[in-house]
Amino acid sequence: MKHLLSKPYAPIVSVIWNILLVYVVYQIARLAYFLENTQLLHYNSDVFRGGLLFDTSAIVYTNALYVVLLIAVSAFTLKGQKALKWLYLIINALALAINLGDAVYFQYTMRRTTTTVFGEFSNEGNLGSIFGTEFINHWYLVLLFAVVMMGLYKLYAMPRGKHAANLASLLLIVPLSIAGMRGGFTTAVRPITISNANQYAQHPADAALVLNTPFSLIRTIGKSVFTVPNYYQSDAEMEAVYSPLHQARLTRDSRFSRKNVVVLIIESFGREYIGALNRDLEGGKYKGYTPCVDSLIAHSTTFRYSFCNGRKSIDGMPSILSSIPMFVEPFFLTPASMNDYTGLAGILGNEGYQTAFFHGAQNGSMGFEAFAKKTGFQHYYGRTEYEAARGTNDFDGTWAIWDEPFFLYYAEEMSKMQQPFMTAIFSASSHHPFAIPEQYKAQFPEEHLPIQKCIRYTDMALGKFFATARKQPWFANTIFVLTSDHTNQSDHAEYQSDMGGFCSPIIIYDPSHAEGRMEEKIAQQIDILPTILGMLGYSKPYLAFGIDVLNTPANDTWAVNYLNGIYQYAKYGYVLQFDGKQTKGVYQLTDRLMQHNLKGKVPQQAQMERELKAIIQQYMMRMTKNKLL
């Protein structure tokens, strides 16, 4: 083999051989992606077949310059040929690196990375330490990268040929390359996009395995995020099925209560970790990791089914505070983020509330400060404000101020505010790289998953927050809402399904009505804004994509989310999976492993399709026409 590859070949032969090597590299990367996330993904022949289609497109895009230079020029010097070899190696090393890196990132997002990632982390100054930690933790992927690249270097075939043959080869390769980029030869084939991966995926999460990261990045460069479908021909027809406009409630006994509102958004605090919400898990023996939150739930309102509307922190902010779910891409990384819209802070600010947002990371991190200002928060308290008040000893070294001191700072700052106030806090300690303060490492040792010790620490911090808050004069006149921005690492199959990956707690605690109850309803993050306004007796019109879940009959409560091109809609005891054109699956809500597809067998399917289409069309229309107020 070494002898064969050491001799030069005609350019077309070299191109074919070298590109075939790249196909092998992409398949190795896909296998690594699967093995890194084997509990969340399913590898089968359809994934392999579809993967070849998307790999072809990515390989042609990324290697086009190399192929054209190699074929078009007849007589490269040895020096020039070596330069082309290094161009080939660098391009494909980069593709391999981002594929392997995305294999690690998938468990947090449940999808392939797109170009919005650059906006998501544009204000972060700690990425170097994060990447360094991951290099160490995933040394085996670094070793795999080195071995694959060494093989690519050794097996590379050096070209040689005459100009006429080169020109003929170029004429042959150009149409093949165009077809490869588009995903086929026929005129009926549009250039394939990310959503086409669902054709080869039995489950929405598996679409990420069909895709590759270079393709996902390339296909989302400068692309329009929102396209308005034409499911309904008129606004009146659509609004008869669903409208996000909440009309004024001019009832005789409507009275605005002017209670304080405190929203606690806890990083990665998935429903799975909370023992009180999982009494049936592990045969009734599951205890969870949240004794403090369990005790809070005993005096709170919770819901039989509760979901987040996205898989990233930047999805949680608009969903929770502005009742805007994530469809296609994170809302405030899209051009629609420049639209006119408000949120709970803006609405209550107009009623005389003092409003403030707290996030212990560097000011500007994740774009939270900009979003808070846009949606009506009058004050922002970040790491800068904390360290100005308390010094620099409480920084975790990576992301933010540790939860325990920052929660206590939060409680104290609220005591300085004039009532009524509306505040929100976004915690940080239960975030990758999953560290806790040194003094708590013996108290909260490593568990099955790295995040679980962080959940215990944050739960303890929440317990101290509520202990402090109970002593404050504003406590009894306050509505508390506790939820998570999204879910995270899981060790139960029930929380690894397409819908299980969106299970977040929604806990409403009102000290003046502290009886605990579990509502037999579906709730979601976008319901928080309208539900709080309902509890306050707010009577003016407003826009929210969610509902006042406490004042809605159980059969009319619902949840929606978006995963790899698939909309998931839960209502009437079922979950409908819809790709924008047709239903892909229907599952009972109680089928938590989503093993039994009832598509075509459920009478509610047609009504669910009508309702979901109206939700999608309303969302897309309002995004593109700036109608979010």
Asked if residue 570 belongs to a domain, the reply is: no
Cα 565 to Cα 65, 196, 576: the distances in Å are 31, 8, 13
Considering the domain architecture, whether residues 69 and 211 belong to the same structural domain is answered as yes
pLDDT digits (tens, 9 = 90+) for 455-509: 999 999 999 999 999 999 999 999 999 999 999 999 999 999 999 999 999 999 9
Considering the domain architecture, whether residues 203 and 296 belong to the same structural domain is answered as no
Identity of residue 121 = F
Give the distance between the most distant pair of CA atoms in the chain: 92
The per-residue DSSP string of 276-310 comes to GG-TTGGGGT---S-HHHHHHHTTSEEEEEEE-S-
Cα 509 to Cα 265, 478, 481, 497, 526: the distances in Å are 14, 9, 6, 29, 18
The CA distance from 365 to 136, in Å, is 25
Measured in residues, the chain has a length of: 629
Considering the domain architecture, whether residues 215 and 146 belong to the same structural domain is answered as yes
pLDDT above 80 (res 156): yes
Tally of structural domains, the chain: 2
Placement of tokens 């296998």 in the chain: 31
Considering the domain architecture, whether residues 335 and 482 belong to the same structural domain is answered as yes
Considering the domain architecture, whether residues 22 and 155 belong to the same structural domain is answered as yes
Using 50, 70 and 90 to split pLDDT, how confident is the model at 539? very high
Domain boundary among 538, 557, 576: 557
CATH number where 434 lies: 3.40.720.10
pLDDT digits (tens, 9 = 90+) for 558-582: 999 999 999 999 999 999 999 999 9
Considering the domain architecture, whether residues 379 and 477 belong to the same structural domain is answered as yes
Closest alpha carbon to 77 in 169, 158, 197: 158
Asked if residue 496 belongs to a domain, the reply is: yes
What pLDDT is stored for residue 189 in this prediction?
44
Asked if residue 586 belongs to a domain, the reply is: no
Asked if residue 238 belongs to a domain, the reply is: no
pLDDT above 60 (res 185): no
Q: What percent of the chain has pLDDT over 90?
A: 69
Closest alpha carbon to 331 in 365, 361, 374: 374
The CA distance from 629 to 622, in Å, is 9
What pLDDT is stored for residue 202 in this prediction?
81
pLDDT digits (tens, 9 = 90+) for 297-331: 999 999 999 999 999 898 999 999 999 999 998 88
HSE value, Cβ hemisphere, 13 Å, CA-based, for 142: 9
Using 50, 70 and 90 to split pLDDT, how confident is the model at 183? low
What pLDDT is stored for residue 106 in this prediction?
86
Q: Check: CB of residue 238 under 8 Å from CB of residue 597.
A: no
Closest alpha carbon to 381 in 404, 402, 361: 361
Considering the domain architecture, whether residues 311 and 443 belong to the same structural domain is answered as yes
Task: Show the domain range for 47.
Answer: 2-219
Mean per-residue pLDDT, 541-547: 97
User: How much is the pTM?
Assistant: 0.81
Closest alpha carbon to 203 in 506, 626, 594, 618: 594
